[in-house]
Amino acid sequence: MVAGAGDGPLANLAVGAVTPGTAALSLGTSGALRVVRDRPGVDDRCRVFCYHLADGLWVLGGAVSNAGVVAQWAAESFGGIDVADLMKEAAEIEPGSEGLTALPHLLGERAPWWDPDARGALVGLRRGHGRAHMTRAMIEGVGQQLALVRDSVVATGAPITSVRATGGALRSSLWAEIVAAALDMPLGITDDTAGSGFGAALLGWRALGAVPDLAALPADVWSRPHSTVRPDRKAVRRMADVRPRVERLHRMLREFTA
């Protein structure tokens, strides 16, 4: 019998995010960011998880409960518009959503808050804001949440220098551009056709001795990025300026709704 691993850690194997500094980002209905290192540990505020993957390999990271679901919610709430059409509208809005800030916690939130009762909010709403502004603000809020997870991972002493990203939400260029700006690093968009099943197979091969070192496998074994989305500098600055406000708003709203 060969011990397996969780879905997320196996996904790191599937896309080759097993070397120091390379994170795997999954973005579907929910999302997650994970990195592999050679020892366990979490940050001093316990904002991230830590799972054992294989001998000498541990996965640190965090999952967010709200990702693609916020776009689905917006499309349903704004008159049943098609999600793709709504994304096109939101893409026309400048980064920062003209001062509108969102906490996209429709389903509570996991990392880094671990607060199932977290509520969502739109802050700074004015007459000139429409559904495109609100949608973009919600997606930017997801990007901010992933950046807070990244910051929590880095606080453990595990630097992140590159990201391999998978998931259905990334078929939208708007999602990819916003997440790249929030993380302030390029996203290597990777097909995830094999997914966690391929990661499980690699663990099996390692247990049988066919793969002596997972991190040293040839490059052509992994699902390689087929495109790269680079962050827009204006969007990077805007998201970085707003991020401390996001943390304060979360704390304030938690007190208000308790």
Same domain membership, residue 17 and residue 45: yes
Q: What is the DSSP letter of 123?
A: E
- Bridge partners of 60? 35, 50
pLDDT of residue 129: 98
What's the one-letter identity of residue 57?
L
Same domain membership, residue 81 and residue 144: yes
Same domain membership, residue 114 and residue 170: no
pTM of the predicted model as reported, rounded to 2 decimal places: 0.94
Flag whether 186 is in a domain. Answer: no
| Alpha carbons 86 and 44: distance in angstroms, whole number | 40
Same domain membership, residue 112 and residue 238: yes
Q: Backbone phi, then psi, for 243, in 5-degree steps?
A: -55, -45
DSSP 211-230: -S-GGGS-GGGS--EEEEEP
Flag whether 184 is in a domain. Answer: no
Same domain membership, residue 137 and residue 81: yes
Same domain membership, residue 252 and residue 201: no
Contact present, 161 and 204 (Cβ < 8 Å): no
| Alpha carbons 39 and 187: distance in angstroms, whole number | 26
11's tokens: 């996904």
**Comparison of pLDDT for 201 and 63, the residue scoring more:** 63
Average pLDDT, the chain: 91
Flag whether 157 is in a domain. Answer: no
Q: Is 73 helix (H, G, I), strand (E, B) or coil?
A: helix
Contact present, 182 and 146 (Cβ < 8 Å): yes
Q: What pLDDT digit, counting tens, does each position of 15-44 carry?
A: 888 888 999 999 999 999 999 999 999 999
Based on the structure, what is the number of domains in the chain? Answer: 2
Flag whether 36 is in a domain. Answer: yes
| Alpha carbons 155 and 96: distance in angstroms, whole number | 26
Contact present, 61 and 149 (Cβ < 8 Å): yes
CATH number at residue 245: 3.30.420.40
Flag whether 109 is in a domain. Answer: yes
Same domain membership, residue 77 and residue 16: no
| Alpha carbons 195 and 79: distance in angstroms, whole number | 35
pLDDT of residue 212: 74
Per-residue pLDDT band at 214 (split at 50, 70, 90): confident
Mean pLDDT of 187-205: 80
- Assess whether pLDDT exceeds 70 at residue 201: yes
Per-residue pLDDT band at 11 (split at 50, 70, 90): confident
Nearest to 231 by CA among 146, 157, 110: 146
Half-sphere exposure in the Cβ direction for 11 (13 Å, CA): 25
Flag whether 185 is in a domain. Answer: no
Flag whether 1 is in a domain. Answer: no
Same domain membership, residue 51 and residue 93: no
Same domain membership, residue 244 and residue 144: yes
Q: What pLDDT digit, counting tens, does each position of 169-181 carry?
A: 999 999 999 999 9
Same domain membership, residue 142 and residue 86: yes
**Comparison of pLDDT for 47 and 201, the residue scoring more:** 47
pLDDT of residue 194: 62
Containing structural domain, residue 23 = 7-65+162-177+191-228
Nearest to 146 by CA among 5, 21, 243: 243
Q: What is the DSSP letter of 163?
A: E
